[in-house]
Chains A and B, each alone.
Chain A
Amino acid sequence: MKLFDRTNFYYIVFSVIIYVLVGASFYLVVEHVIYQEVEQRLKVERRDFENFVKAHGVWDESCYFVENKIELASLSDTLTPVTEFKDTLLYNRYNNEYVPFREYSFVSQVGGAPYKVTIRKSLIESRTLLKSITGIMMAVLSLGLLVLFLFQRRIARRIWAPFYQTLSRAKSFDLNEGKGLTLTPEEIFEFNELNSVLNKVTDKIARDYTSLKEFTENASHEIQTPLALINSRVEELIQQKNFSDEQMRWIQDIYQSALRLSKLHQALLLLSKIEHGHFFEWETINLADTMTDKLEEFEEIFTHKAITVQFTKTGAFHVKMHPVLADVLVTNLLSNAVKHNHTQGVIDIVSTSNMLQVSNTGNALTTSPERLFERFKKQNQSSASLGLGLAIVKKICESYHLAIQYAFENDMHTLTIRSSGTR
């Protein structure tokens, strides 16, 4: 819900409540005042009536002051008090409709006998008055609310404009540009604060990012260069012929260790780059397609190890990922499935619209499955593998909010990658 919608919503709800309350109470007050007035008049007429009866002993229907209808009814039960006001409807034969009256009943002695006297006064004019007063009142009130509402909306738009500008600038903030946001100062104190805080924070982020990137690049350069030198010198050394077999083995050990060190370093560097968000650019990539490409590359090794590969593709698994990482992810999954497989084994790959699953035959795990994704957790500690492949897979999955799961069923190791939120 947008900010404007939210404030407008509260404003409207509040206004409607106020509107109803004011309308109702106004109506009640005016009605009360009118009743008071009518009842006052009825009481005056009662006095006139009683005075007339006292003077004349009887009641004359055609009396001069009778503005309202007075009805007499003889009364036998004098104990029940009858003095009361009440509303009633009487039929008007000219208009063919019922007309509201206020009725005043009391007991009076006429010619020595008790009578119930009822005086009625029409409320029709008062009702009309009440209605029109309330109507005008409500119309004025709604007009006022509407004007206020429109005014508030326009003001809010103007006041919040700098905020939305800041928001859109922050959204388009690109770390790769290597500098923070440069938001201009605003008149409104809070927005000004917000802008300067954002300037400061993004500036720091950009600087940290740049220096981190430089550091990893430099570290990489500083380590890889001597390693490259070791390798090239060893390669020159082995061109010589006058080494004993033992010396040759030493040289080979140096060579292989240096190669391994450099691979290890590259893998660790990749891990730290993923962790530090170096690969924040993304494309929409269909991992099923990446898998198809990679299977082609791996074909030779499948043939070599006599591994049967089955790829069931029921949908395109689209992920938003850096293309290099997508490549690394699929490669690591496959080489893992090959590495821990045996000859004439099976690799079963399933791809649907929200998951990619790679299963392979192989010996049961000797380590606990929870530790499978940890760094340097190797099935066979002496093996030539670096023990970083699945750690990298896991890290890639984490940074793109993909869920990864391991299961061992029917002698098959299964790794499943799902887009999170689906099962």
Chain B
Amino acid sequence: MGLAESIAAHLTKDGFITETVFNYESALEKISLYTYDCVVVDINLPDGIGFDIVETLKKLKASSGIIIISARHALEDKIKSLDIGSDDYLTKPFHLSELNARVKSLLRRRHFGGSNEINFQEIRVNYISRKVFVGETEVTLSKKEYDLLLYFMSNIEVALTKPAMAEHLWGDNIDSADSFDMLYSHIKNLRKKLTDKGSKDYIHSIYGIGYKFGKN
């Protein structure tokens, strides 16, 4: 329950309207009454299995994006989740910033915003063509730098930890010491490329923790 609240709080802060239920019965009730842009489902529920909620959503022909979270690391669960029609799968424990990025990416893919671009101040990202502009000038980024920027722009004014960022970029089978070094150099390059084209420096480092992307 604490986790659900924590997720809700995080997403609310980012401007989403969230509703939280804690069991299978009330979840069924909610999804049959309302239409959601995105549903985050835990597989293990006190009175049921999350898969059934996904299947109900599919039966209702709901247009909701579905993200499954599970503690079960089993590959079968992941395959099953995607098979029955969920859009993404996250294994516990995950970083809230990662979930946030996934939710946003899912909403982008489903064109809920109606636009192919996301903007922050003078920075503009077209996620169809994967092009980045500062004002009207195009900035050429490497794949990792692009991913990093998109991750930042999905988590504006959020303190992002280095492990969360490293995991977002490289997955979890990489040695942390190396990945922090690599992260540092990617951030350095990204910052340089953006400011070179006239952008303000929005990447702030937080001592000992990581980075924050935002106006101050």
Instruction: Please report A residues at the B interface, Cβ cutoff 8 Å.
Output: 217, 220-225, 227-233, 235-236, 238-239, 245, 248-249, 251-252, 255-256, 258-259, 262-263, 266, 269-270, 300-301, 304-305, 324, 331, 335, 338-339, 384-385
Contacts and interface: CB of A to CB of B under 8 A. Distances in A.
Nearest to B186: A300
Interface string B148-186: 000000000011010110000010111111110110010
B96 A235 contact: yes
A248 B207 contact: yes
9 contacts: A217-B74, A220-B72, A227-B92, A228-B3, A236-B6, A236-B10, A259-B163, A300-B170, A331-B173
A221 B209 contact: no
Contacts of A269: 73
Contacts of B172: 263
A229 B158 CA distance: 18
B96 A236 contact: yes
Given A235-B95, A301-B182, A324-B75, A229 B2 contact: yes
A255 B160 CA distance: 12
B177 A235 contact: no
B93 interface: yes
What secondary structure prevails in chain A residues at the interface with B? helix
Nearest to B144: A300
A249 B73 CA distance: 30
A220 B71 contact: yes
A384 B175 contact: yes
Contacts of B161: 235, 238, 255
B143 to A, nearest CB: 10
Contacts of A270: 73
Given A217-B74, A238-B206, A301-B178, 8 more contacts: A221-B70, A224-B91, A230-B93, A233-B6, A236-B9, A236-B96, A238-B159, A335-B175
Contacts of A221: 44, 70-72, 92
Contacts of A245: 207-208
Contacts, number: 103
Contacts of B173: 331, 335
Contacts of A233: 2, 6
Contacts of A385: 175
B93 A231 contact: yes
A232 B6 contact: yes
A321 B182 CA distance: 33
A232 B3 contact: yes
Contacts of A384: 175-177
B7 interface: yes
Nearest 7 Cβ contacts at the A-B interface: A228-B93, A224-B71, A221-B71, A228-B92, A232-B6, A224-B92, A227-B93
A304 B71 contact: no
A324 B161 CA distance: 28
Contacts of B97: 235
Contacts of A259: 93, 163
Contacts of B9: 236
Interface of B: 2-3, 6-7, 9-10, 44, 70-75, 91-97, 144, 158-159, 161, 163-164, 170, 172-179, 181-182, 185, 206-209
A116 B73 CA distance: 112
Contact of A252 (B44, B177, B185, B209): B209
A305 B179 CA distance: 11
B2 A248 contact: no
Contacts of A301: 174, 178-179, 182
A17 B151 CA distance: 87
Contacts of B164: 235
Counting chain A CB atoms within 10 Å of each CB, the highest count among B6, B73, B75 belongs to B73
Nearest to B70: A221
B26 to A, nearest CB: 19
B71 A239 contact: no
Contacts of B206: 238
A255 B96 CA distance: 13
Contact of A231 (B74, B75, B95): B95
B3 A225 contact: yes
Nearest to A253: B208
B92 A256 contact: no
A232 B72 contact: no
B96 A232 contact: yes
A300 B182 contact: yes
Contacts of B7: 232
Contacts of B74: 217
Contacts of A231: 93-95
A339 B91 CA distance: 25
A300 to B, nearest CB: 6
Contacts of B95: 231-232, 235
A225 B3 CA distance: 8
Contacts of B176: 384
A228 B94 contact: yes
Contact of A248 (B73, B181, B209): B209
Contacts of B94: 228, 231
Given A224-B92, A228-B3, A233-B6, A238 B209 contact: yes
B181 A304 contact: yes
B71 A225 contact: yes
